Amino acid sequence: MKARSLVMGLVTGAACVLTSVFGAGAASADVQPYIVGGSDADQTYSFMVSLQDPSGGHFCGGSLIKADWVVTAAHCVQGTSADQIQARIGTTDRTQGGEEAKAKKVIVNPDYNPQGAGGDIALVQLASPVKAETVALAAGADAGTKSRLIGWGQTCPERGGCDAPVKLQQLDTSVVDAGKCQGIDGKVELCTDNPGGKAGACYGDSGGPQVVQTDGKWQLIGVTSRSGNDSSTCATGPSIYTSAVAYTSWIDQNTGS
C-alpha cells in the first residue's frame, strides 16, 4: 500500500496534492477538502466542523461528538500541536458563521500507521465547550447502508484542478462490500461507493463525517480517510472511511464517557 498522504484535507490557498489517501498533517499543503459530484448543503449541520490553521485556513473536516470534543482523521492532525488548530462549528460557510473555538488537546489513535490500514482516527479537545448540537455515534454500518458525505473538499476530480468551495457540499451514497476497496481493513473501515463512478470524497474532505439518518436525527458512522483505489484522481473508485462505530470504545475512553 502506498503511504497515506492526502486526499481529503485542505489548506486554503495551498496547492492541492494527493497520493493514496485524502489528507495529511494540518501543516501540510497536501491536505485538501471538496466533494466531487455533490451539491450545496441543503441544511445546516450543527455538528459539522472545519478544522483550521491559526490564520483561518481550512485543512480538514471533523464532527462534534461532545460539547468539547471533535473526531477527525489521524492523518489530519498527527504531528500537529493543539495551539496550531482552531475550529469553526455548525455553519455551511467555512469562512464565517457558527461558533469558533481553539483546540486544547490532540489524541491520535495509537494504531494509526501512515503505511497501513486502520487507526486513521483522532480526537481534538476544544479549549471550551460550544453550544452546537452534537452528533451521536451510530450502532452499526453494514454494507448497503445509505449514508451522506459532507465536506469542503475539492469539487473537481483532478488534484489541484480547482479551489476549495466556500459552501459546504453533501453527497448521498452508500456503504458497499469491503472487497470493492483496495488496502482496507474491513473490521475497522468502511468502503463507500462512488455513485455513477464519478462522485465521492476528494482533497480536503479528510476527517469529515459520513452520516446516516435515523428517526430524523443524523448519526455518525464514518470519518473520511483515503481513496479506495490508490488513484490520485478523486471519485474514480470507492472511498475508505474509518468506522467511527468500530472505535466507539476508544472514543468513550478518551472523552470521559
How far, in Å, CA of 19 to CA of 239, rounded?
13
How far, in Å, CA of 133 to CA of 98, rounded?
11
177 tagged catalytic: no
Q: How many residues does the chain have?
A: 257
Output phi, psi for 105, to 5 deg.
Answer: -155, 145
The active-site residue, picked from 28, 206, 225, 227, is: 206
Output phi, psi for 82, to 5 deg.
Answer: -60, -35
The active-site residue, picked from 68, 120, 185, 205, is: 120
Task: Provide the 10 A C-beta neighbour count for residue 42.
Answer: 8
- Indicate the SS3 state at residue 91: coil
93 tagged catalytic: no
3-state helix, strand, coil in the chain (%, to 5): 10, 35, 60
120 tagged catalytic: yes
Between the two ends of the chain, the Cα-to-Cα distance in Å is 35
The helix (run of H) or strand (run of E) holding residue 255 is helix 248-255
How far, in Å, CA of 28 to CA of 110, rounded?
21
The active-site residue, picked from 5, 50, 58, 75, is: 75
Active site residues: 75, 120, 206
